[in-house]
Amino acid sequence: MTNVPPTTIAPPEEVPPPPPVPALEMRGITKRYPGVVANDRIDLDVKPGEIHALLGENGAGKTTLMNILYGLARPDEGEILLDGKVVDIAGPSDAIARGISMVHQHFMLVPVLSVAENIILGEEITRAGGFLDRAAARDRIAKLAEQFGFDVDPDAQVAKLSVGQQQRVEILKALYRDTRILVLDEPTAVLTPQETDEIFLLLRRLAESGRSIIFISHKLYEVLAIADRITVIRRGRVVGERLPKATTEDDLAELMVGREVMLSVDRGESHPGAVVLAIDDLRVKDDRGREVVRGVSLQVRAGEILGIAGVAGNGQDELVEAIIGLRNVSGGTVTLAGQDVTSAAPRQMHDRGVAYVPADRHRYGLILSFSIADNLVLNRYNRPPFARGIVRNDAAVLEEATRAIGQYDIRTPSATIPAGTLSGGNQQKVVVAREFDRDLTLLVLDQPTRGLDVGSIEFIHRQIIAKRNASTAVLLVSAELDEILEVSDRIAVMYGGRLVGEMDARTADKNEVGLVMATGGRTAQASRGAAEDGAAGVSTGSGEPPA
Amino acid sequence: MTGLRNALRQIWATMALPLLAIVMALVAGAVVIILSSALVPGHGFDPGLPLTAYKALFEGSLGTDNARVETLVQAAPLLLAALGIGLGFKAGLFNIGAQGQFLMGAIAAVAAAGALKGDGALVAIPLSLLAGCAAGAAWGLIPGFLKAVSGAHEVVTTIMLNFIALALLSFLVSGPLRLPKSPQPVTAPVSDAALPIFIGRDGHIGIILAFLAVPVVWFLLFRTTRGFEIRAVGANPDASRYAGMKPRRLIILTMTVAGLFAGLAGAGNILGINHQMSATFSTTVGFDAITVALLGRSHPIGIMLAALLFGGMRAGAALMQIKAGVPVELVDVVQSIILLFLVASPIVRRLFRLRGVKASLGTTDTMARTYGNEVIR
């Protein structure tokens, strides 16, 4: 038996020297889907107690590789070794039994159950007669939580926890199942900077206990901060392995994208003109009839970018949907270039030179089953030259599509394939091409780069700044604080349906803004504990505003 | 020629599933034939029986000129009603109401024909057909309107309206429209409005209208801006709304047009075949048309082919019973199994390892999706 016992706890103060046998080894993994090689002879090894980052753009093959590890997909070639022994992972339950756990971006928790109930789900401890032994389960969870310094109450209802706490429940769930290899898929996408720091501390403790962690991300600075080793994947292949000490963000970006990338675009100076968008005391309800925008007032001038930062679910989506005419306003006014446009229809806003890039491009931005060409004219399909009377002119649509595909660098074999077959970045380029390609008075962007790779982000940021320089008023909403800081001219933070705090983007401090995002700015100088309280009030759903 | 190869691959991707569903249904039907005939006392196990039966079915639908005309006669109402249902599928609507719309069309046509007695065919025929269209359209507009203003689900409302149409029909035929002094409750014959026969024994001109509707619907769907809107709203109502389309209006429009087609089918049948309506008038056209629309994958051409298939089976069923002793109901069995395989398409795809074949029927997505509660804005 050369096995490393699964629950060996290394002394916490020093990382044990790497044993000869990796905890996990994936050799020559190849997975082909019709028309694409998702994984091409990928080698990956993860040592016990190592945090191994898997870095790559969207569509690079990270998810496929992890699905193979988790038994959700079968490799066409290659083998998986656990502790040096070849294994055949039949499915997720087999993977879990072998000590592999995955924490998905979208949590798999039952909101109405308690933390303890969620953790034992599927792995219930029963007493004689098949009754649930809650006390035993609670004890075991409490012990685990204490061992790793989790700050989670086993009896709390999951629905009432903050996103960060829910994530910790997911990790606890994995630990409860004696996980040895923990895969985290973009774990920080939903967290504030403070929550990110906390989760990193926790991951470090887990690694010190001998568990291996695979950390999937496309955020370079995070990977550098947390990983012991970084494997970069591009187009289904491993293109490099780096140690954080011996690399830089620029180096990683270039590996990941395959060419040199400008990580931050030069936004230049803004020259604000007249007020284009003026919002006064705007109130908006969400689908469930709760007021989630509670009296927002703001102004955006021509030629400036107002960035609205905030943890997702604080009313930002409803705010932009109300501006754009997709959601009814329950109070207040929206004025565009001096004219009242409160509750105007989307097409009226379009005709007044307003463009919108939605947060959910699959829901509002694209019709995935329609061709790229049809998507590119989705808001003007009924106007010349795309239609003569009621008859569509396919030739004109195709011609326009070919032009836009060239100009906006949309990578596609043809204009007639369904938009759903494109990668996320290229899908977003289709939206951007359609929305940006005319003179605009106002541009509203909601999370325009969510889920995109570095190359696409760079492209879209450039386009936004170009619009700003062409005297368009830009309203940029993002939960990605770096994006707000890099692109905006002015920053406002949205918290609990209100705008709290406004600052100059060039002088704003990231940690300070992060704290305002988490607390609503009531206690900007308060301790970490206060930040936690604030975050705890923000639920994951569509944004229960903190009381 | 990669263009040609791609086109062929495209066609295969679209047609593989319906074709396999048909083949598998015929195989399943053969099993049913063998087993059920073996149950008949004194009748042995006859593995050759399905072949005899299917041969007779084929002969009865395509074997003679009369058989071919009968196939067209049977296909026409299915085709019209299914075109309407398919349009609904494209718009994301699951219209179960073709049956009621068909009945309303038939009764309005018969009522109009009665009123126009003595006005000559040139007046009576078009006006009676129009009356049928209008009544069917109205029966489609109601659920469309209810869905648009209140979100009432069209599956529920159209089923209700089917019952209402049936009750209305018996009331009208045994009351206001009843032919005076007739022993049974029947309406007056359609007289002047009877559709002329142009081919075979009962090949009425309604058939021409039905087949003309195919290019009309195709043009509407794929060449007009309105058709683009219908498809867009069906595929993604939210994105369509943001793009400036008006989902509510399109829902009402689509349901109305669907009702119009089903109404025309009803009018065509009563004016072309029955020539009179009795209180026991019964049909399954409206329901069979749902399977036809699904089998045709909501595409006008596909629907036409599917309608011809189903029409042919209806036309040939009698000969099958005579020649092979297999009851005509076997056709219902085969049709139902086709529907089963279509709706359970993942099973078929796994069974035959269809890779490039389109993952879903699109229309079955509609079925699954429309059962969820969606918010229309």
Task: Tell me whether residue A359 is in a domain.
Answer: no
CB contact under 8 A, A392 and B228: yes
- Phi/psi for B162 (5° steps) reads -60, -45
**Cβ–Cβ pairs < 8 A, chains A and B:** 61
| Average pLDDT of chain A, as a whole number | 84
Mean pLDDT of A312-340: 91
Residue A125 resides in a domain = yes
pLDDT for the residue numbered A18: 52
Q: Is the pLDDT of residue A226 over 80?
A: yes
Whether A390 and B375 lie within 8 Å, measured CB to CB: no
User: Is the same domain home to A448 and A429?
Assistant: no
Residues A92 and A203 in one domain: yes
> What is the C-alpha to C-alpha distance for residues B190 and B109, in angstroms, rounded to an integer?
8
- Domain identity same for A255 and A279: no
Contact between B228 and A287 using a beta-carbon 8 Å cutoff: no
pLDDT attached to residue B356: 52
A2 pLDDT more than 50: no
- Please report, for chain B, the start and end positions of each structural domain, with discontinuous segments joined by +: 2-370
Same domain, A185 and A250: yes
Q: Is A396 on the interface with B (CB under 8 A)?
A: no
Q: Does residue A411 form part of some domain? A: yes
Average pLDDT over residues B57-76: 94
Give the pLDDT confidence score for residue B371 in this predicted structure: 38
Q: Which residue has the higher pLDDT, B285 or A514?
A: B285
DSSP string, A514-546: HHHHHHTTTTTT--HHHHHHHHHTS-SSS-PPP
Contact criterion met (CB < 8 Å) for A324 and B242? yes
Residue that is last in its domain, among A230, A261, A292: A261
Split at pLDDT 50, 70, 90, the class of A35 is low
A446 within 8 A of A359, measured Cβ to Cβ: yes
Using CA atoms, how far apart are residues A170 and B352, in angstroms rounded to an integer?
Answer: 39
Cβ pair B224:A390 closer than 8 A:
yes
Look at chain A and report how many structural domains it folds into. 4
Same structural domain, A319 and A407 = no
Residue A1 pLDDT > 50, yes or no? no
Same domain for A339 and A279, yes or no, is yes
B373 in contact with A, Cβ within 8 Å: no
Give pLDDT tens digits for A435-446.
998 899 999 999
Cβ pair B362:A369 closer than 8 A: yes
Mean pLDDT of B96-110: 96
Looking at residue A82, what is its pLDDT? 92
* Cβ contacts of B223 within 8 Å, gap of 6 or more: A391, A392
pLDDT digits (tens, 9 = 90+) for A38-79: 899 999 999 999 999 998 877 778 888 998 999 888 899 999
pLDDT of residue B291: 93
Percentage of residues in chain A having pLDDT higher than 90 = 43
Could you read off the pLDDT of A17-29 as tens digits, one per residue?
555 688 999 999 9
Range of the domain at A496: 275-353+439-536
Query: Comparing A236-240, A535-539, B63-67, which segment has the lowest mean pLDDT?
Result: A535-539
Residue A327 lies in a domain: yes
Which of A177, A199, A228 terminates a domain? The answer is: A177
Q: Residue B357's pLDDT band (boundaries 50, 70, 90)? A: low
Q: How far is B357 from chain A (nearest CA, A)?
A: 11
Comparing B328 with A5, the larger pLDDT belongs to B328
CATH of residue A75's domain is 3.40.50.300
Whether residues A372 and A505 fall in one domain: no
Probe site for chain B from A381, A393, A444 (most B CB atoms < 10 A) = A381
- A530 vs A547: CA distance, rounded Å: 15
Mean pLDDT of A331-345: 93
Count of CA atoms in the C-beta half-sphere (13 A) of B22:
15
Least confident range from A64-78, A104-118, B19-33, B67-81: namely A104-118
Nearest to B198 by CA among B188, B182, B209, B189: B209
- pLDDT score for A13: 54
Q: Is the pLDDT of residue A14 over 80?
A: no
* Residue from A350, A382, A391, A444 whose CB has the most chain B CBs within 10 Å, to mutate: A382
Are residues A294 and A227 part of one domain? no
Percentage of chain B exceeding pLDDT 70: 92
Same domain, A527 and A451: yes
pLDDT given for residue A142 in this prediction: 86
At B80, the pLDDT band (50, 70, 90 cuts) reads: very high
CATH number for the segment(s) B2-370: 1.10.3470
pLDDT of res. A537: 36
A532 and A465, same domain (yes or no):
yes
Let me know whether A475 and A432 are in one domain: no
- State residue A196's pLDDT score: 85
B2 pLDDT tier (thresholds 50, 70, 90): low
The token pair at B167 is 């009750």
What is the per-residue pLDDT for B316? 93
Residues A86 and A232 in one domain: yes
pLDDT at B270: 95
Query: What does the pLDDT look like over A270-313, one tens digit per residue?
Result: 889 999 999 999 999 988 788 999 999 999 999 999 999 988 77
